[in-house]
A and B are shown apart, each in its own frame.
Chain A
Amino acid sequence: MKGCVKFMSKYDEYEVIMGLEVHAELSTKTKIYCGCSTEFGADPNTHCCPICTGMPGVLPVLNKKVVEYAVKMGLATNCEIAKFSKQDRKNYFYPDLPKAYQTSQYDLPLCEHGYVEFMVGDTLKRVGITRIHIEEDAGKLIHDPYTGDTLVDFNRCGVPLIEIVSEPDIHSADEAIGYMQTLKSILEYLEICDCKMQEGSLRCDVNLSVRKKGETKFGTRTETKNLNSFKAIARSIEFEIKRQIDELEAGGEIYQETRRWDDDKGIGYAMRSKEDAHDYRYFPEPDLAPIVLSDEYVNNLKVNLPEMPVARKTRYINEFNLPEYDAEQITNSKYMADFFEKATAVCNNPKLVSNWIMSDISRILNEQEITITEAKFTAEQLGELISLIEKNVISSAIAKKVFEDMAVSGKNPKVIVEEKGLVQVTDEGAIREIVQKVLELNPQSVEDYLAGKEKAMGFLVGQTMKESRGKANPGIVNKLLKEELEKLK
């Protein structure tokens, strides 16, 4: 046997350790400490009052829903809920923060010591949740390229956030994506965050370090901030792993620093070094009273939690006989799962609905770069479309064409079928005429078939379907072709 050199990349000699800090904006109507609207996209500085712009002498009052939503998230991620919790001031000076401190929670967060589980490939992965606390979002800074100044919009200032801090249990980009996807699902199922990552309502910071396999000491970690798409999370992680290993292999050193990811350029870079920038001087918020939660309050939220993604997936496997992979894909998004159930209620064929979601619907959503809630067609319309196939009104091939139309126009499938005259032809007399015409026009194929070339049959079926503009019932076409060819033997 020839000598075989096993190639071992330097990257394989390292272990990656990550912890994620995920920020989710809560979908309350109003801000965390005042009655201003949290709605996204309003004119700058029109959702502001003296409280959220940090005027002196104002008194913030905590929004009840913020506590409720945070506790729900804690319960859904197996956390212990604090009976006694308080809020603190995190001091830092930056123009997006008019008070010069962010009201957050320091040593007594609402939720602690939880975990979530999810599949990475075929393996069940568990990631520990260190804590979940409530805090306020900061304003938005807009760089004005014309004047070179920075413009400040305080609309987002005071929008409630929960920060979900994970244990350093994550070891690859795939695990990070799985974890983030799991949190997103749970937030959607609880209906406490709209999870629009492109609008910043769900975003994450990645703390990452590497060490040689077998080492017990952690390496120096960096923090890449404000990643707001799954693609950006995965790419920035791959970039940072490579950067740190390359640096160490070249005899360099990793500095503890905050980094930013430029998704357009595909590179990460250091923003500021941690040691000189951050000294938050946390202290208890004197304007806000402690949060004291009774067992009754927590239990009441617990028993009323909606069905969670894992439970729903199991139900789809058992109740609808869906393959595990399909069930997982559909239940990942609450909106997709709701869509699935509504469509199934109309046509009563869960397997076909699932097939449509896994193929044509996923493709069209990708092409149009939208989510299912933004689609032109409704679940009921998909259900009707499937019913039309099942009742033999249209063929599956025609249904695909009808669906393309629905995805653009949002019209009812029945209307499209009528308008375009797509009703399936099942009249044997009419189809036989087409079949006879096709056989006449293709003597070579007929000869081939009669000589034993079965493949010629496929061509003749295709020609007949084409001649009928896709409307002939494929079963009848097959049957009649065989009959007519038999006559020619």
Chain B
Amino acid sequence: MKITEQEVRHIASLARLRLSDDEVEKLGEELGQIKEFVETLNEVDVSSVDATAYILDKQNVLREDELKPSFDRELILKNAPAKEAGCISVPKVVE
């Protein structure tokens, strides 16, 4: 089932993606197919299985509050397209 144009545009805006009309149309189709595929899971009988949010048989994976060296700033900023004064520089954020 196709995802509506409105839904595609909403999701795109949440992810700050700018889509052309053609892309909206195409993604509507594709996302619909993905959703349909995932929905096949609904056919499985899970009445005897407890609901879970975590699939591994693990709990309380914790670490001690101990300092580890941080990375060099140069390394942290290496992939940033623009930097200034030891910071990543981004277009002005207006609120």
Instruction: Please list the residues of chain A having a beta carbon within 8 angstroms of any beta carbon in chain B.
Output: 28-30, 34-37, 43-50, 53, 61-65, 67, 86, 91-95, 100, 141-144, 147-154, 260, 271-272, 279, 281, 284, 286, 288-292
Contact = CB atoms under 8 A, between A and B. Distances in A.
Closest CB pairs A-B (n = 6): A35-B68, A151-B87, A284-B53, A65-B65, A44-B86, A152-B88
B43 interface: no
Given A95-B93, A141-B93, A279-B14, A64 B87 contact: no
A45 B84 contact: no
B88 to A, nearest CB: 4
Nearest to A96: B93
B63 interface: yes
30 contacts: A30-B67, A35-B69, A36-B70, A37-B67, A37-B70, A44-B86, A46-B70, A48-B70, A48-B71, A49-B71, A50-B71, A62-B61, A86-B53, A92-B14, A95-B88, A100-B15, A141-B93, A147-B84, A147-B89, A149-B84, A149-B89, A150-B90, A151-B89, A152-B89, A284-B53, A286-B54, A286-B55, A289-B58, A289-B61, A291-B59
Interface of B: 10, 14-16, 53-56, 58-71, 73, 76-77, 82, 84-93, 95
Nearest to B17: A93
Contacts of B84: 144, 147, 149, 151
Contacts of B92: 143, 148-150
Contact of B68 (A34, A45, A149, A292): A34
A288 B87 contact: no
Nearest to A288: B61
Contacts, number: 131
A150 B91 contact: yes
B81 to A, nearest CB: 12
Contacts of A292: 59-60
A45 B63 contact: no
Contacts of A67: 62
A142 B70 contact: no
A291 B60 contact: yes
Given A150-B90, A289-B59, 8 more contacts: A36-B68, A45-B73, A45-B88, A47-B70, A61-B61, A94-B93, A151-B88, A284-B54
Given A286-B54, A290-B54, A44 B65 contact: no
B79 to A, nearest CB: 9
Nearest to B94: A150
B12 to A, nearest CB: 11
Contacts of A86: 53-54
Contacts of B76: 45, 48-49, 53, 154
